[in-house]
A and B are shown apart, each in its own frame.
Chain A
Amino acid sequence: MQLGYNWLIYMDNDSNSIMAFNRHSPLIPGIFEVKSKSKETHDTWSIVLNNKEPCRVETFNPGQFNMLYAYGTGEIPISISGDCSNQKYIVHTIRDVGKVSHALCNLKSGDQVGVRGPFGTTWPMDQLKGKDVVIIGGGIGLAPIRPVIFHILENRDDYNRVAIAYGARAPEEMLYPTQIMDWRSHLDMQVRVTVDSASPKWHGQVGVVTTLIPRLNFNPDNTAALVCGPEIMIRFAVKELISNGINPDEIWVSMERNMKCGIGLSGHCQMGSMFVCKDGPVFNYMDVERYFRIKEL
């Protein structure tokens, strides 16, 4: 059926229903090309995407995610992990854990990928101005929070003391090791890294990421903290931040739920009265605190 250039027709084989979507609808993926790809760890890759349809470029900000569509396989939410001041390319860091992430990790330069987004809330960069900022990341959780670090480095005078604590299972599972070394060389930034266990080749800290928090240098009365990682890590990191004097309403966390539409329609990512895709993924801790206490939500 011809509805004009801006309309696409989708036919659902199961229900025999026909749907018409505007090409600019957030439900229609834009076509992007993999410009380059780099291996981060044995199961994690970063891909740089180049927009093939300039009209679909929208500004993206630290904390937001895209729905990435691996053709013929499926679509999953993946956070933007690159520098948001460079809006020409989008960088994503993906851990191969299942069907779709595996397909995305296997893309090659020049391959095409469908992208919907950017979706979701952002890290509160404006509210952090003038404060000490503590950034806690664990495992793949450094990826969604990395744009914050880029932003701070580019706008260093807006922020007070900055401390980054990152935990990974083992030295070889750490994301962005070269970049971490670079951040470390900034004299006005504390960067601490820890791993769960290590061979003698590792000369750094061993222990869980929460043990780094009391060693960070910040003024709890004027500190905001950002936490990103698996939910169990967030729970214990937040507990430690609070016991080190940080006000719970000065803590922001990035939450994950299975997603489908990414725009608050399907209800897939519902968390109580909120949708993680639309009201999150970045939440003030006080807004989600009760969900950390509920099992199986």
Chain B
Amino acid sequence: MSNFIAEQLSEHPIFKGLPFITLNDMIDCASEKIFSRGSTIFLEGEDANYFYLILSGAVDLSLHTHNKGPIAIQSLHNGDILGWSWLFSPFVWHFDALAREKTNTIRIDGKCIRKLCKDNPELGYELMNRFSKVMLDRLNATRLQLVDIYG
């Protein structure tokens, strides 16, 4: 078990304050993963088996369009969480994710976390709550992008 991973998980807002024993189980679902600049983290339509805590670097979420090619729609940075499609059936990615810079992450196995949540509904509820907050913030930001607030 890596002390580094344990430290990162226990300090990250999405996991902060969870019981020690639960965090310990989660550490077994996590590994360090580094993406070089320009590399693909995942592609639209692929199985969404993981999510990532971004420790440093920058990731662009983008959509491929027929007439304009890839269009970046959101950037994520250190402290951000990348991916929640692992939470919901059919567990596939809806966007492409590309490392804009060299990006250090903690990669967390979604299946492994889903199993922990199934075995421990209290944890499942707590994590759902926390992820919903992240999703709500992103949804609000996306709504503002749609409104064209610089009009």
Indicate whether A200 reaches chain B with its CB closer than 8 angstroms.
Answer: yes
List, in ascending order, chain A residues with CB within 8 A of B69's CB: 199-200
Name which residue of chain B comes closest to A196, CB basis.
B145
B73 touches A (CB below 8 Å): yes
Q: Which residues of B101-151 have CB atoms within 8 Å of chain A's CB atoms?
A: 141, 144-145, 147-151
Which residues of chain B in 44-91 are interfacial with respect to chain A, using CB atoms and an 8 Å cutoff?
58, 60-62, 68-75, 77
In the bound complex, do residue B70 and residue A199 qualify as a contact, i.e. CB atoms below 8 Å apart? yes
Residues of B within 8 A of A210 (CB): 141, 144
A232 at the interface (CB under 8 A from B): yes
Contacts of A167 in B (CB 8 A): 149-150
Q: Which residues in window 202-217 of A have CB below 8 A to B?
A: 202-211, 215
Known: A199-B69, A200-B70, A236-B144. A206 touches B151 (CB 8 A): no
A147 is an interface residue with CB less than 8 A from chain B: no
Q: Do A206 and B150 contact each other (CB < 8 Å), given the known contacts A199-B68, A199-B70?
A: no
* B interface, size bucket: 20 to 34
User: How distant is the Cα of A290 from the Cα of B37 in the complex, in angstroms?
Assistant: 47
CA distance A191 to B151 in the complex (A): 22
Neighbouring B residues of A141 by C-beta, 8 Å:
150
Contact partner of A229 (CB less than 8 A), chosen from B61, B141, B150, is B150
Min CB distance A152 to B, Å, is 23
Cβ of B94 within 8 Å of any chain A Cβ, yes or no, is no
C-alpha spacing A199/B65, complex, angstroms: 10
- Is chain B's interface secondary structure helix, strand, loop, or mixed overall? strand
Q: Which residue of B lies closest to A234 (CB)?
A: B149
Decide: B100 and A169 in contact? CB cutoff 8 A: no
Main secondary structure of the interface of A (DSSP, over half): mixed
Choose from B73, B100, B147 the contact partner of A197 (Cβ within 8 Å): B73
Q: Does A139 contact B (CB under 8 A)?
A: yes
Q: How far is the CB of B59 from chain A (nearest CB, A)?
A: 10
The interface residues of chain B lying within 8 Å CB-to-CB of A267 are: none
Closest to A139 in B: B150
- Tell whether, in the assembled complex, residue A138 and residue B149 are in contact, meaning their CB atoms are under 8 Å apart: yes
Closest to A203 in B: B100
Q: Report yes or no: B149 in contact with A207, Cβ–Cβ below 8 A.
A: no
The reply to whether A194 and B147 contact each other, CB–CB distance below 8 Å, is no
Q: Which of A169, A204, A207 neighbours the largest number of chain B CB atoms within 10 Å of its CB?
A: A207
From the candidates B71, B75, B150, name the one contacting A207 in the complex (CB within 8 A): B75
Minimum C-beta distance from A17 to chain B (A): 39
Determine the distance from Cα of A200 to Cα of B68 in the docked complex, in whole angstroms.
10
Let me know if A230 is at the binding interface, CB within 8 A: yes
Given A139-B151, A206-B75, A207-B74, 5 new contacts (CB under 8 A): A196-B148, A209-B149, A229-B149, A230-B149, A230-B151
Could you pull out 10 A-B pairs where Cβ atoms are within 8 angstroms?
A: A138-B150, A167-B149, A199-B68, A199-B69, A205-B75, A206-B61, A206-B75, A207-B74, A210-B141, A236-B144
